[in-house]
Every structure is written in structure tokens, then in C-alpha cells.
A and B are shown apart, each in its own frame.
Chain A
Amino acid sequence: MTDPDKLKLARQFIEAIPHSRDLGMELTEMDDGVAEITMPYDEKLIGDPETGVISGGAVSALMDTCCGAAVMSHPKNLAGTATLDLRIDYMRAATPGQQITTRATCYHVTRSVAFVRATACDEDKENPVATATGAFTVEGSA
């Protein structure tokens, strides 16, 4: 279990990130190495003007925030975190107009590195839009 006070601070930290706020991200779950964040569709995120599909870059920003939140919520990580490496696989175009939901799981933590996997879906939960795998720093371990 993650200490509730630490979790509250981590949640406040994630919710205060200027870029995440600017993209309308909302933290819907965060505990024990798992985080879920939603991001509404917005025309400013469009990467393909012809179809209105949002840019892969916007999905990257969401994935990165969500993976970071998962690491910060893990009981073995006592402070903040930084991305060491993040790889995103884009499976299909997100349907224009739909909200994106990302769920990240911190599946292994060593003294210095946290390994994370994440999936992003639009309203069709059966067919992910993108998946990510990343390595993040672990700070302040005992």
C-alpha cells in the first residue's frame, strides 16, 4: 500500500503540471503503481488537418504524464520522477471528437529505475489507439 499522505502530495503534483492542465488532463485514478488519466478531444491537438485526428505528440504527452503518475504512486518511489526513455507504438488513429483515456502500470521497480507500461484508448475500449513502454527514475529510495 502507498502511504496516503505521500499519495495526496503526488496527486497534487500531477494535477499542478502546467502542460497537463493546458491539455485538460484529468487524473481519475492513482494508487499503488497504477494511474489513469483522461484527455478531452480538442481542435488544437489536431495533427492531420484533413481528418481531424489528433497528433501523436498529444498522445505522447498524455502517456508521459500517466506513466510518471504511476511511478509517483508506487510505494517504493518516495519522491518525484523523470523520464529516462519512452517508446510509443501507434496502432490506429484516434476517432476525432472522442476523449482519450490512458492507463499506466508500473510493473517493476528497482532501487534506481521504474519500468512502466501504458495503453491509450478512445471510446472503443477493445482496440487501443497506442501503447507505451518506458523507464523512469526512482527517487529517494530507502
Chain B
Amino acid sequence: MKRPEPVQVVKQRRDAALRALVDGVPYIQYLGVTFDRRGDELTGVLPFDEKLIGNPLLPALHGGVTAAFMEMTAVITLSWSYLWEDIESGSLDFDPSGGTRMPRLPKTVDFSVDYLRSGLPRDAYARARINRSGRRYASVHVEGWQDNRDRLFAQATGHFVMPQRR
């Protein structure tokens, strides 16, 4: 029987893949979005920053920031699930020195955001659920919350064109 891989090796491989995926996108870096990983589950984290404010009187997060955060969470979660098998099998090897050519990201066709309450000036979280992912198209739903997981401040649905395997 094959011995299971040491846990550090598994974690190192998955974290390197996630880092390569996220660090490659300048706009994700600009917003300051990071991703928490538990197994294959990802949670987008948007740390609060003054530059993200849309209404200085309240103050509240900019609706566009909320939309962008939710969309980035959808795109990364979708890529992550699409690459998962290749990451696990080792056929996609993310060299930390940056020699690997990154796979293309899915392209957004449409994205619809439902603003349920105003975004407070504190950290926000988002998790995406892939409702359907075919060879060409995918449909993704995203939930965003701040202090309480059950009190969403926004939810969104989007459709994406999947990258063609190369």
C-alpha cells in the first residue's frame, strides 16, 4: 500500500499554488484581498482600508469595491476548483521562483450584485459556491459578510467563460 504524503508536503504544494494564482493579479494586490484555505475551501478576505471607502459620511465601503471583491472571490474559487486535480496530481508544479506559466483565468460574462446592507468600515469575507461548471461556461454564487456569517452584506451571481486547456 502507498504511504500517504506527509502533511507538510501537501500543505506546501497547495499553498504555493494558491499564492501563485493570487499574487499574479495586480488588482487583487491593489485591493489587498487574500485567501484563507481550509482543504479545498477558500474564503476571500478584504482587510479594511481608507482607500476602499465609497461614502465618507457614513462611512461605508464603496459598492464597486464590494462588487470587485465578490468577483475576485468567484474568479479565484473557480480557477482553484478547475486546477485542483492538476495541483494534487503534481502535473501543475508551481515553482516558487516564478518560472511557471500561470494558467489563464476564467473571463466574466456578467456579474450581478445584490447589496443587502451597507459595507461597514471593517474587514469583509466572501465565499463562492460553484453552481455549475461545464467545459465552456460556469455559474457561480458568492456570499459576502462582515461580523456575522449569517448577516450577509452582499450576495452575487456571475457567469464565466472557462479558459481553454493548453
Contact = CB atoms under 8 A, between A and B. Distances in A.
Using C-beta atoms within 8 Å of the partner chain, give the interface range for chain A.
35 or more
A135 to B, nearest CB: 9
A64 B51 CA distance: 16
Interface in A78-93: 80, 82-90, 93
Interface in A6-36: 16-20, 22
Binding site of A, secondary structure by majority: helix, strand, loop or mixed? mixed
A63 interface: yes
B104 A61 contact: no
Given A44-B30, A60-B68, A64-B67, 15 more contacts: A18-B51, A18-B62, A44-B26, A44-B27, A46-B25, A47-B27, A55-B71, A57-B69, A58-B27, A61-B64, A63-B64, A64-B54, A83-B63, A89-B109, A90-B107
14 contacts: A19-B64, A47-B26, A56-B111, A57-B68, A57-B69, A57-B72, A60-B68, A63-B64, A82-B60, A82-B63, A83-B63, A83-B115, A86-B63, A90-B108
